[in-house]
Structure 1
Amino acid sequence: MNSSALQGILPVLPTPFNESGVVDYSAMERVAQFCLEAGANALVFPGVASEYDFLERSERDELLEVVCRTAEGKVPVVCGGGKGTPEVISENIGRAQSLGASAAMLLIPAQFSGDVSGALDFVKSVISGTDGVSFVLQNAPTPIGAGLDAKDLLRIVEECPEINYVKEEALPSGPRITEVLASAPNHLTGVIGGGGARYLIDEMNRGAIAAMPAAEITDLHVKMWNAHVGADMTLTRSLYMRSLPLLVIQTIYRMRLTKYVLTERGVLSNSIVRAPLPGFDSYDRAEIAVQLESLSDLFEISRLEESKV
C-alpha cells in the first residue's frame, strides 16, 4: 500500500507482556485488531511508546510480523527505525520492509541537538542503506530526540527526497508545523502531529494531515479527527476537552496508562511494562475509573463484557 495513505489517526501500539514479563504475541494481535476496528488509518510499531528500548531485536521483529499480518490489506504499517548506528537502523528498516511495513519513522537522535549538519549526515546515511521506503522524519524534543527548529528540519527534508513526512513533536509544535508547511518542498506530503494528541486541534488547524497518539482511546481520537474534517468544531472541541484529563495522566505514566486503559476496556489482560515507570495506587485507579466512565459513551469498541464470559 502506498505511503500516501498516511492520514488521520495512526496509533502507536504498545507491547503487551504476560504475567511473567514475556512478550504476549496473541495480545499484540488483539491490540492491532482493536485499533483497526476503532477506525485507525495506519498502525505504527515499534515506537518510543512501544518500549522499543526494552525489547530484543527478535521480539521487535516477531511483534512487527504480527502487526503487519493483522493490518495486511486494510491499512499501512509504519515501522520505527529504532536507535543505533545508521547501519543498524537501515537494517532494522530493511527487515521491517520484508515483513510488510510501507513507511519508516526515523528519529533524529538527541546528540544532534543544535547540529543540523551532523543530523543531515546521519539521516542521509540511514537512507542510503535502504531502498524503496518512504520516510517519516521524527523531530522529538530532548532528551528523546534533537528537537531541531523548523529551518533545520526543512534543510534536511529539502536534501532528502525520500522523506515524505515530518512528525513534529518538539514544543510548541503548532508554530513549527506552520513554518515547515509554508516552505515545504514538493516531495513532502505533509506533517504529522505527536504529543499524544494533546495538541490535536491546533495541529489540524495548521494543516497537519495525521496524528500519532497512543492506542488506548483510538476510537475517540478517530471521532475527533472526523469531526474536525467535517468542520464540526463544536463536536471536535467537546471531544477534545473530554479526552484531556486522561491524557494528562498519561503524561506521567505513559505506556503503563495505555496498557491499563486497554486492560480496563477488555483488550489486554494486564498493564505490565518493562520500562521503569511509576505504578498506580488506589487513588490513581479510582481517578482513572472516573475518567473512563465519563468517556464510556464514546467508546465504540470494547471487549470487556466478552472477556468476562
Structure 2
Amino acid sequence: MTQIAGVFPVLPTPFTPEGPPDVAAFLRLADFALEAGVDGVVFPGMASEVETLSAEERAQMVAALGKHLGGRTTFVVGASHADPAQSAARAREGQAAGAVAAMIMAPPGCGQDVAQHVAFYRAVAEAAPGVVIMLQNAPAPNGAGLPPEKVAAIAAEVPAIRYVKEETLPCGQHVTRILAAATTLDGVMGGAGARFILDELARGACGTMPALELADAHVALWKAWQRGDRAEARRIYTLTLPLLAFQMTFRVRATKEVLKRRGLLTHTGARAAGPKLDEGDVAEIGELIATAKPAMTMHVP
C-alpha cells in the first residue's frame, strides 16, 4: 500500500452564504494544498466540521474531492461514526473515491475499555474488507483519550489498523510509547494542530495532520527536518506557533479567517460550535499572521 508520511492537512469545509457546502471553494482549497506540495490530504475530520455535515453532504464532498485529486496526492478519508456499520460505509465511500486509508475514531462511549474498542474496529474492518484503518486517538470529549499502551493493544488485535493519529497530551511522549509498544503499525502521525510537531518528529512520528491554513509552511518545515536542517525547522515552527496557539481556541473560524486573508477563501461562515471572533480577535489574528508571514512560501497576505 501507499506509505502515509509527511504533511497531510485536514481540509476545511467552506459554506456558501446561504448555508450549503461550497464545493467549488472546497476544491480550490484542495488546489492550494497541492500547490503547497503536501504529501496528502485528509477529509473529512474535526477541522472539516464533520459533525455538522449530513451523510449526503459528506458523500458528495468525498466523491468530488477524489475525482478532483485524480491520484495526484494521497487521500485519507475520515470515516468516524458511532455506528461501526456507518463508519464502514464512509470508509467504502472513501475507498471508491481513491482514498488509501480511513481515519476512524471510536465513539467516546467505548471509554477506556479495550475490548469495546477492539469490537468496534473489528466490526468496521469486517464490513469494509481491504480498508486500511488509521486509529484516531483524540482526547475527551470528542474521543476516549486512550493511553498509548491501550492504543497498541487495540492495534495488535485488529490487523486492519496500520496507522495511528495521536492527539492526546503529552503528544510527544505518547508517540514514543505507542511506537515502543506497537510492533504491528506502519506509523504514527502527529495531530493536535502541529503545535507539538518538532517533539513528535524527534520521537519518530511519520508526519503531521494539521489544519490547512499553513500548509506551505508545514511542508517547508517537513522538508527541512527530512534533510537534517533542524535549525530551519525550528525557525519555521517558532514563526507559526503563536498563530497555531490562537487557532487552538477558535478552531475552524481561525483557519477560515487566515485562508480568507491569504486570498484563498471568500466566505468564512462556519457551522461548528465554539467561540466566534470579535473585533479584538480580528486585530490579533492580523498580528499573528504577520508574525507567521516569513514562513509562508505562497499566497502571502
TM range (shorter): over 0.9
**Residues 59-208 of structure 1: matches in 2 within 5 Å?**
59-185=57-183, 187-208=184-205
Q: CA offsets, 1:183-237, max 9 Å, x none? A: 322x411100000000000000000001100000000111111111111111111
**What is the CA RMSD across the aligned residues, in angstroms?**
1.3
Q: CA deviation at 1:296?
A: 2.4
Q: Specify the alignment match of 2:259 in structure 1.
A: 262
Distance 2:133 2:109 in 1: 20
Distance 1:303 1:248 in 2: 20
Structure 2 vs 1, CA of residues 303 and 22 (structure 1 numbering), >3 Å: closer, same or farther?
farther
The one-letter amino acid of 1:298's match is: A
Q: CA offsets, 1:241-280, max 9 Å, x none? A: 1111101110111001111111111111021100122221
CA contact (8 A) 1:108 1:140 kept: no
Q: CA deviation at 1:179?
A: 1.3
Structure 2 vs 1, CA of residues 267 and 174 (structure 1 numbering), >3 Å: closer, same or farther?
same
2:240 matches 1:240: no
The one-letter amino acid of 2:144's match is: A
2:210 matches 1:219: no
Q: CA deviation at 1:303?
A: 8.1
Distance 2:77 2:291 in 1: 33
SS in 2 for 1:254: helix
Q: Specify the alignment match of 2:207 in structure 1.
A: 210
Q: CA deviation at 1:3?
A: 3.0
Q: CA deviation at 1:113?
A: 2.1
Distance 2:283 2:166 in 1: 34
Distance 1:122 1:22 in 2: 32
CA contact (8 A) 2:42 2:76 kept: yes
The one-letter amino acid of 1:231's match is: G
What TM-score do the two structures reach when normalised by structure 1?
Answer: 0.94
Distance 1:107 1:73 in 2: 25
Distance 1:69 1:106 in 2: 22
Distance 1:278 1:126 in 2: 34
The one-letter amino acid of 1:3's match is: T
Percent of aligned positions that are identical: 39
1:291 to 288, 291, 296: 288
The one-letter amino acid of 1:27's match is: A
Aligned length, in residue pairs? 301
Structure 2 vs 1, CA of residues 257 and 286 (structure 1 numbering), >3 Å: closer, same or farther?
same
Distance 2:62 2:85 in 1: 20
